[in-house]
């Protein structure tokens, strides 16, 4: 398939590499062209602009960092909406807000194009190995056309429905549930520390039983070791995600008190200088609130 790809951060490069390795004809574009070098060496075409990366493509994937970047590549003059051929698909794989996905889907529809939202779950190394999961939503025909790509990119695809925001909401909900687990552990560790219990014991209890899952094993471990400088996901990015969650909730008429609690602790952690640490540093922020640290 003739595919364009915009956004060559770590996730983007992993996914683009999979597509290229799967035998597709790939044109790539990144604001900083150096990041395209490895892909070009492996056979991709470097496009000099958004317009060029859209030329004669059946699908153009975007994997950009936030809503502002998505608006910039897709909605400004010369962006995807202007440049994408009629009938083509804009496959949005980044994590975005519900509002922009809805707005952009309408803009593409008006131009005879189709937006498919397909945010992913997993880390860059999983992306490079084709081991991420994909949550996809969009018109059924367009989803079918993307299926061969999903099969190369990830290990499993969850179909959320025909409206792209459905996939967005699932992705945000999943991140929110993770954030609640992190916050819950942060509070729980503070409680047991104040009762003179070694955090490791709570970790063992949790992960042996009801919570024998990566969310608790990964972030619970970092908290026990206070290893917040090995960063998987920063506090700052977590706050960005919670902002998207709260905006989606507000737009849909859903009070989400746990999201607000999480948001407040993230704001506090940033106020205390932990913006660029791993977001499990919420355990330290919670400890501060309890007068421990």
Residues annotated catalytic, as ranges? 171
| Identified binder of a second copy from the candidate list 259, 277, 279, 280, rule CB under 8 A | 259
Measured from the CB atom, is 48 or 210 closer to a second copy? 210
| Nearest distance from C-beta of residue 235 to a second copy, angstroms | 12
Contact between 292 and 193 (Cβ < 8 Å):
yes
| Nearest distance from C-beta of residue 186 to a second copy, angstroms | 9
| Identified binder of a second copy from the candidate list 177, 225, 229, 232, rule CB under 8 A | 177
Residues near 28 by beta carbon (within 8 Å), at least 6 away in sequence: 4, 5, 6, 8, 16, 36, 39, 40, 44, 45, 46, 47, 53
Contact between 53 and 28 (Cβ < 8 Å):
yes
The answer to whether residue 34 forms part of the interface with a second copy (CB under 8 A) is no
Measured from the CB atom, is 34 or 253 closer to a second copy? 253
Cα–Cα distance for residue pair 103/11, rounded to 1 Å: 24
Task: Name the residue among 108, 115, 152 with its Cα closest to residue 131.
Answer: 152
The answer to whether residue 68 forms part of the interface with a second copy (CB under 8 A) is no
The answer to whether residue 236 forms part of the interface with a second copy (CB under 8 A) is no
Measured from the CB atom, is 48 or 255 closer to a second copy? 255
Burial of 213-229, coded b for 16+ CB within 10 Å and e otherwise, reads eebbeebbebbbeeebe
Query: 182 to 221, contacts with a second copy by CB under 8 A?
Result: 183-185, 187-192, 194-198, 201-202, 204-206, 208-216
Measured from the CB atom, is 218 or 231 closer to a second copy? 218
Question: How many Cβ atoms are within 10 Å of 166's Cβ, its own excluded?
Answer: 19
């Amino acid at each position: 398939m003739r595919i364009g790809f915009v956004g060559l951060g770590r996730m983007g490069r992993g996914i683009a590499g999979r597509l290229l390795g799967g035998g597709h004809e790939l044109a790539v574009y990144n604001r900083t062209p150096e990041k395209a070098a490895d892909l070009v060496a492996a056979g991709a075409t470097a496009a000099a602009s958004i317009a060029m990366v859209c030329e004669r493509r059946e699908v153009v994937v975007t994997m950009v960092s936030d809503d502002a970047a998505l608006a910039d590549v897709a909605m400004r003059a010369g962006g995807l909406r202007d440049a994408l051929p009629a009938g083509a698909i804009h496959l949005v794989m980044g994590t975005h807000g519900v509002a922009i996905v809805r707005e952009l889907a309408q803009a593409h529809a008006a131009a005879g194009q189709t937006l498919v939202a397909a945010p992913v779950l997993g880390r860059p190394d999983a992306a490079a190995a084709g081991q991420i999961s994909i949550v996809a939503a969009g018109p059924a025909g367009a989803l079918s056309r993307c299926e061969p790509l999903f099969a190369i990119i990830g290990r499993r695809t969850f179909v959320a429905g025909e409206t792209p925001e459905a996939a967005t909401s699932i992705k945000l909900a999943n991140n929110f549930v993770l954030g609640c687990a992190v916050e819950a552990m942060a509070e729980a560790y503070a409680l047991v520390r104040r009762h003179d219990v070694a955090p490791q014991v709570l970790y063992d209890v949790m992960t042996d039983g009801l919570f024998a899952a990566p969310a608790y094993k990964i972030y619970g471990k970092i908290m026990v070791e206070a290893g917040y400088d090995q960063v998987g996901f920063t506090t700052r990015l977590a706050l960005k995600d919670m902002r998207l969650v709260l905006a989606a909730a507000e737009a849909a008429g859903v009070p989400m008190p746990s999201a607000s609690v999480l948001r407040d602790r993230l704001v506090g952690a940033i106020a205390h200088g932990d913006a660029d640490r791993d977001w499990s540093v919420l355990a330290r922020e919670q400890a501060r609130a309890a007068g421990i640290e």
